[in-house]
Amino acid sequence: MQIQVLKSKIHRVKVTGADLNYIGSITIDETLLEASNIIEGEKVAIVNINNGERFETYAIKGERNSGEITLNGPAARKVQKDDIIIIIAYATLEFEEAKTFKPWIIFPNEKDNSLT
């Protein structure tokens, strides 16, 4: 049997932009992607702390150490600049493997989305 478990989580980052005219996705600072073990193109769930919205999109790589968190395309309507969001990725694992799996969870600084 397989189950879905938390694989990666970027906990409480500030939205730096919303670009309605982009095709779609969420742009995430490359440093945050690497630290959370999320790869470009991976499906992610977004939870908006400010308004309760929950939706899915995919990750694209932003400039390293820029602090960028930009929602693109239709997802831009679900957030406003400076909203605080949580970014979550899940993995499907065998039940026994899932029992010992340890997710990558990071807690960036909410002021500038840095890891320091």
The answer on whether 103 is annotated among ligand-binding residues is no
Any known ligand binding at 59? Answer: no
Q: Is 25 a catalytic residue?
A: yes
Q: Which of 20, 30, 22, 13 is nearest to 85 (CA)?
A: 13
**Is residue 74 marked as binding?**
yes
Is 73 known as a binding-site position? yes
The residues near 34 (Cβ < 8 Å, ≥ 6 apart) are none
Element (H, E) at 99: helix 95-100
Which helix (H) or strand (E) segment is 36 a member of?
Answer: helix 30-36
In the set 8, 25, 36, 66, the catalytic residue is 25
Q: What are phi and psi of 85, to 5 degrees?
A: -125, 165
- Catalytic residue of the set 8, 36, 58, 114: 58
As a whole number of angstroms, the distance between CA 47 and CA 32 comes to: 17
* Token representation of residue 43: 């499906």
Instruction: Provide the annotated active-site residues.
Output: 25, 58
| Binding region for substrate | 57, 73-75
| Binding region | 57, 73-75
